[in-house]
């Protein structure tokens, strides 16, 4: 099924708010607020977008949760006097932690992807949850779920590692402009692979 025009507009708005606006805000505020202040100001558009999406849909999606967790890390970073480059990787630190949980969940009988799939099915109906639970007992399905868990965990850890490297090896302005594209690209690749 082809996406309708509303879906395309929503995707375009999401990309503008989360990719273009943070760079524009950073670029226009760095002269008056220094790097640290400009990085904090650049978090404002995605923050407001996430809060608006939360109030509109009355649920928190994964991307909004990452943004809000990143904002919490930003507020903690404001209290310290550390390197402002850590503000560049605030969401990626959360992503890296989630990736680590994915990888560590491979030690469980049901890895994280299986648990997330069950939770999604349970929201639909008890019958769907039970049907999925029965399929998750099949060895082939278990291998697929473990593979997907490893894929997502490795991908999220790679995103975190890449953004940290980028933040500490490239100029801040370039990292602000390119970093979100890397994150969205990795997430798109993971979603496509799934």
CA 49 to CA 54: how far, in whole Å?
8
pLDDT in tens, 69-113: 666 666 665 555 566 777 777 777 778 888 998 999 999 888 988
Q: Which domain holds residue 15?
A: 5-193
> Do residues 47 and 68 make contact, with C-beta atoms less than 8 angstroms apart?
yes
> Do residues 39 and 176 make contact, with C-beta atoms less than 8 angstroms apart?
yes
pLDDT in tens, 108-128: 888 988 888 887 777 778 888
CA 58 to CA 55: how far, in whole Å?
5
pLDDT, mean over the chain: 81
Q: Give the lowest-confidence range in 18-22, 133-137, 162-166.
A: 18-22
Of the ranges 32-36, 83-87, 177-181, the best mean pLDDT one: 177-181
CA 39 to CA 168: how far, in whole Å?
14
Across residues 177-191, what is the average pLDDT? Answer: 87
CA 57 to CA 161: how far, in whole Å?
32
* Tally of structural domains, the chain: 1
Check whether 186 has a pLDDT greater than 80. yes
Full-prediction pTM beyond 0.85?
A: no
């Amino acid at each position: 099924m082809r996406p309708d025009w509303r879906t395309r507009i929503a995707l375009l708005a999401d990309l503008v708010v989360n990719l273009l606006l943070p760079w524009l805000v950073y670029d226009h505020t760095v002269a008056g607020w220094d790097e640290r202040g400009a990085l904090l100001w650049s978090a404002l558009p995605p923050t407001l977008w996430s809060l608006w999406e939360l109030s509109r849909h009355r649920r928190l999606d994964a991307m909004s949760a990452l943004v809000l967790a990143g904002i919490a890390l930003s507020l903690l970073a404001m209290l310290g006097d550390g390197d402002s480059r850590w503000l560049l990787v605030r969401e990626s630190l959360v992503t890296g932690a989630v990736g680590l949980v994915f990888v560590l969940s491979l030690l469980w009988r049901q890895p994280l992807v299986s648990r997330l799939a069950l939770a999604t099915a349970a929201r639909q109906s008890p019958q769907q949850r039970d049907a999925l639970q029965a399929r998750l007992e099949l060895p082939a399905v278990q291998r697929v779920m473990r593979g997907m868990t490893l894929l997502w965990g490795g991908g999220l850890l790679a995103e975190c590692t890449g953004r940290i490297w980028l933040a500490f090896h490239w100029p801040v302005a370039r990292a602000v402009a390119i970093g979100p594209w890397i994150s969205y690209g990795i997430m798109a690749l993971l979603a496509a692979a799934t």
